[in-house]
Structure formats: structure tokens, C-alpha cells
Chain A
Amino acid sequence: DAGITQSPRYKITETGRQVTLMCHQTWSHSYMFWYRQDLGHGLRLIYYSAAADITDKGEVPDGYVVSRSKTENFPLTLESATRSQTSVYFCASSAVAGANDTQYFGPGTRLTVL
């Protein structure tokens, strides 16, 4: 199906474990983003990518790693998960990063770190 998908939708892990959240889009959008949503903070940008092999930090990048070897995929890795990384994670994509920059969001991944 066309669109933007995330997997898994739900994940429970333990402190110190490595976790990778997957994001896949079928529009060939240049830009992709990872956000986390926490109560009282809204959506905060973790990392973004302007194209394959081009990534940059957002507002809250510490503890996360991203890669983008293919335009359609943008995985987010928590190298050593901490309880403070318990959150809902959203992936998004957009065709451009301009004045009319509408982002299209995936359904989210709810991550719990015990």
C-alpha cells in the first residue's frame, strides 16, 4: 500500500538493549523525519534527513542514531535504551522543505523501556 508505514507499532524492551524502529515511505519523498511525542512537550524532532545519506540532528538527538541508505527507508536506532526514551515515536516525510512543507506522518510506534 502507498503511504508511510512504521514497524513495530508497539515495542517493550529493557534498559540497555538496542532497539530499531523502522519507517518506510512509498512516495519517494526527499525529506524524512523522526519525532517523539511526550505529554507536555508535543512533538519534538529527533533527526531528519534531506536525502539518502544526508542526515542531521533535530531538537533531541541524544541517545539516537539514524541512517538513510535508501530514499524510502529511515530507521531510528536506540543504541542503549533508557527509561526516558519511553515515548510514542512518529516518522514523517515531505517532498520538499519549503514554505509549503506539509509533512505526512506514519501511525506511530509506542515504545516502552522497562
Chain B
Amino acid sequence: DQQVKQNSPSLSVQEGRISILNCDYTNSMFDYFLWYKKYPAEGPTFLISISSIKDKNEDGRFTVFLNKSAKHLSLHIVPSQPGDSAVYFCAAWYTSGTYKYIFGTGTRLKVLA
């Protein structure tokens, strides 16, 4: 039962254009969402996060949007750069007795020069 889903395993975008990575979740108890970026042979690194009480958070070229009614979040990268080519994981968090930090399956982004 995949509680956090990234339905697009890969995405290719032209340099300078917008990249949109999507993430869907099923558990309404999640109250914090994060995006991580992972390069080959390295561990994931934190990129941006959003609380469930917000619908948008922006950090430079990266913006995360949250639609709670649709249980959907997206990461926008504008403009996309070749260095953004990586695997992106969304993650969702809540605490209920046991610690819950659930990652999606990842989307491989390739930015074409």
C-alpha cells in the first residue's frame, strides 16, 4: 500500500523551461511534506518543504504547491537547468505513536541542454 505515489518515473525537459514533478498521497494525516533531490552515487539531499497549513512555498527557482483536497503536491522548477538532472523524491510526515516518514518512489528528471 503505497501511501505516497510519484506516478511518473521519468521526465525530460528542455533547459530554461519549467519542470513540474507531481506527488499524490492517500493519508490525510500527513501534515508536512518535503522534496529531496538525489544525484547518482550520493544520498538524497533536502530541497524544499511545505506544511499542510500552507498551499505554496517558494525558494528561489523551486516552488512547492499543495492541494489538500486533492491530496496532491507538485514541485515546480523554473527555469530548469542541466544541473537539476537528478532523481526527486517527495516525502510525507506525521507522528502517531510510531514515527511516520514515507517516501515516494522517485521521478528521474533530465534537463536537456
Contacts and interface: CB of A to CB of B under 8 A. Distances in A.
Chains A and B form a bound pair: yes
Interface of A: 4, 33, 35, 40-45, 48, 50, 56-59, 90, 92, 97, 99-108
Contacts, number: 59
Contacts of B103: 35, 42-44
Given A42-B89, A99-B93, A103-B101, A90 B106 contact: no
27 contacts: A4-B43, A33-B101, A40-B105, A42-B6, A42-B105, A43-B44, A45-B101, A56-B98, A90-B43, A90-B44, A97-B99, A99-B31, A99-B93, A100-B32, A101-B34, A101-B93, A102-B46, A102-B49, A103-B44, A103-B46, A104-B45, A105-B43, A105-B44, A105-B45, A106-B43, A107-B42, A108-B43
Interface size class of B (residues with CB under 8 A): 20 to 34
Contacts of A40: 105
Interface of B: 4, 6, 31-32, 34, 36, 41-46, 49, 51, 89, 91, 93, 95, 98-99, 101-106
Contact of B95 (A42, A44, A97): A97
